[in-house]
Amino acid sequence: MVLYKNTSNVRPRVDRKRHVLQMAIEEKPERVKFLDRTAKERRKYIETCEKMIRSSSEYKEYIKHIKTHFDMSRCTVFQNISNGNGKKYSIEIHHEPFTLFQITDTVLQKRQDLGEEINHFMIADEVMDLHYRGVIGLIPLTKTVHELVTNDKVFIPLQYVYQRYDLFYDQYEPFMRDYVKDLTALKVEMSTKCDMIQSDVLDIDITYMDIDEFPYPEVPAEWEHVLDKKREYEEK
C-alpha cells in the first residue's frame, strides 16, 4: 500500500502581496582580522598557522613528492640511513635556513606592512605557494638529527640545502626580523668557510685541509649572540 497525503481538503495556494523595503547598509560586517597585541598572542597565531600547514593535504602531498622525485628520502648527515631500505627509519624534512615558524612570521609581517587581508587560511595558502614555487630551503634528516639541528647543536652548511631559498630572502627580506637576517648572514659566512657538517654532539669524522692559509672553519663569535636573540624572541 502506498501512503500519501489526502489533498482533497487542502485549500489552493493563494498568492499574497509582497512588500519590498529598500535599505542601504553603509557598514558591512568584516571578517575578524589579526590584531598584533602581544608577542605571546602573535606566537600563538603563527603556531596555529603552522599546524594548519603541516596537517594540510597539500603539504603532505608536497613532502611525498619531493621525497620521491628529489632524492630526499636519505638523511643528509648519515647518508646510509634512508627510507625504504628494509628498516623503519623515519626521514623528516627540515626547513633551512629559515624555519617554518620564521617563514610564517615573515609572511604575516608582509601582509601587515602592505595592508593585505590577514587570516589563518590566507597565510597558510601563501606559505604553501612558496613551497610549491621551490623557494623554501629544505633538507632531509633523521628524527634525532632533526631535533639536534632545531636546537642549534648541529650546523649544516647551506650547500646541502635543496631549493632556491635565496629567492625567498630576496623577496621577503624587508619583512624579516633582524635576528633572522643576522642569523642568515652568519650561516652564509660559516658556509663559505667550511663545506663540512659541524657538530659537537655527533661522532662525525671530519678532515680539514690547510690550503694557502685558508681560514680554519670556526663558528663566528657572533653566533651565540644571535642565537640568544632568537631564543629570547621565541620564549616571549
Q: Which pLDDT does position 228 carry in this prediction?
A: 74
Buried b (16+ CB within 10 A) or exposed e, 57-71: eebeebbeebbeeee
On whether the CB atoms of residues 94 and 146 are closer than 8 A, the answer is: yes
Cα(8)–Cα(6) distance, integer angstroms: 6
pLDDT at 26: 64
Q: pLDDT under 70 in the chain at which residues?
A: 1-37, 83-88, 195-223, 225, 233-236
Residue at 110 is within a domain: yes
11 in a domain, yes or no? no
| 184 falls within a domain | yes
49: in domain: yes
Residue type, 88: K
97-106 pLDDT, tens digit each? 999 999 999 9
Side-chain-facing half-sphere of 216: CA atoms under 13 Å: 4
Amino acid 136 reads I
User: Which tens digits make up the pLDDT trace of 170-222?
Assistant: 999 999 999 999 989 888 888 887 766 555 544 444 444 444 454 444 555 66
Q: Does a structural domain hold residue 117? A: yes
The number of distinct structural domains making up the chain is 1
Q: Is residue 1 part of a domain?
A: no
Instruction: With respect to residue 172, please indicate whether it lies within any of the assigned structural domains.
Output: yes
In a domain, 101, yes or no: yes
Q: What pTM value is reported for the model?
A: 0.73
Structural domain harbouring 108:
39-201+208-226
